[in-house]
Structure 1
Amino acid sequence: MKLDLELDDRIGGLITAFQNSPEKVDRATRRALKKLSRFAERHTLRALARQQGITQKTLKALGRVKVSLLKPGERGSEGYSLVVWIGASDLPAHYLGQPRQTTSGVKTGKHFWKGAFLMQPVNAPRPMVFRRKDNWQHQYQRSKKSGRMMWMGLPLEKQALPMLHNAIKVLEKLKPLLLERFTTLMQQELNFLWNEAFNI
């Protein structure tokens, strides 16, 4: 996500006052954007965790939210760019909380998977949540073991929580918040430099 920020008149006036000191304006911009990137990460994690019904800690541990500040010339950017990235592939159910088998399904955190069961695949470090597919058929495909074509497949599907829709909603709400926050931070940084320059 790339933001095109339009600065209000108050910031424009402060920047004009610093026209003869472009390095100071650049310093203020860098500091404001660093603070903005931390704000963006906190806000994105909080909003997405609330939407998905999981903890921020889980989202962070899975590396689903990353915010990076690109300097001019980095990855082809002309000026500073703030990139907010959300990994929007479905979240496997076993990451949403300690899986607990019940008579009618599996509970993971706040989520319940009706008709599901716990099973630990051979190469998995912990049990995962599966459910039988409703309309399942064998597929004619090549065996990885023998290399022959045969009818094969399992009538199971791993349960996961969709994320794409909520990720889009979070990013749409984030853009105006970031613009407002950047305006405030930039004004604070320029005011700080202004006061610093005249207190010497």
Structure 2
Amino acid sequence: MKLELELDDSIDELIRYFQNTPETLQLAIRRSLRKLSRFAERRTLRALAREQNMTQKKLKELGRVKVNLLQQGERGSEGYSLVVWIGAWDIPAHYLGKPRQTKKGVRTGRHFWEGAFLMELVNASHSMVFKRKANWKHKYQRSKKSGRMMWMGLPLEKQTLPILNSAIQILEKLQPVLLERFATLMQQELNFIINGAGHA
């Protein structure tokens, strides 16, 4: 799930105004983009952590938020782009914190999985959180091992935290904020450079 922000429209007017001083403009753009990428990462992590009831540190550990700056011509982009990416696959419960079994379920970090239990699968390095499926029935399907048709399946379901809907909402709200922030940063950087305080 990603937001790719084309920034050329936002700087067209500035480009026309500073067309006789391209070095000044390029310096301001580079500085603004670096600051914008840090701003975008902070904003995204904060919003996602709040929505998912988990820490920003844990989201960073899981590599669920990445921000990339694309210069002109990079990865086929025609102009400057800022790419904000959120890994939207459901997060397995055991990644949210050290699983702890209680009488009523399992706690992982700030989340509680009622009726769940811990189980360590073969070849797994740690216990995972499972829960019995409601209204479960065997499925008649082909065995990958023997190739025969048989009734099979487990009445268990690995517990995960959905993230897709939160990611969609966050990226939708983020786009206008980033465009406004970029315009502000460009004005600040150009003022800083023009007033003689900036150095390449």
What's the TM-score once normalised by structure 2's chain length?
A: 0.89
Q: Encode CA deviations 1:24-57: one digit per residue, 9 max, x unaligned.
A: 2122112211110111011111110111011111
Match for residue 151 of structure 1? Answer: 151
- Matched-pair identity in %: 70
RMSD: 2.2
Give structure 1 stretches of 5+ with no counterpart: none
**Cα offset for 1:4?**
4.5
Paired residues in the alignment total 196
Match for residue 31 of structure 1? Answer: 31
Which amino acid is the alignment partner of residue 178 of structure 1?
L
Give structure 2 stretches of 5+ with no counterpart: none
Q: Encode CA deviations 1:118-175: one digit per residue, 9 max, x unaligned.
A: 1011121111110001021222223232233322111100011111111112112212
Provide the secondary structure at the position in 2 that maps to 1:83.
strand
**Does the CA contact (< 8 Å) of 1:15 and 1:190 recur in 2?**
no
Separation in structure 2 between the aligned mates of residue 104 and residue 197 of structure 1, nearest angstrom: 62
Which amino acid is the alignment partner of residue 3 of structure 1?
L
Separation in structure 1 between the aligned mates of residue 74 and residue 182 of structure 2, nearest angstrom: 21
**Does the CA contact (< 8 Å) of 2:6 and 2:80 recur in 1?**
no
Provide the secondary structure at the position in 2 that maps to 1:3.
strand
Match for residue 77 of structure 1? Answer: 77
Match for residue 59 of structure 1? Answer: 59
Which amino acid is the alignment partner of residue 195 of structure 1?
N
Match for residue 3 of structure 1? Answer: 5
Matches within 5 A, 1:24-173: 24-173=24-173
What's the TM-score once normalised by structure 1's chain length?
A: 0.89
Provide the secondary structure at the position in 1 that maps to 2:136.
coil
Separation in structure 1 between the aligned mates of residue 176 and residue 17 of structure 2, nearest angstrom: 27
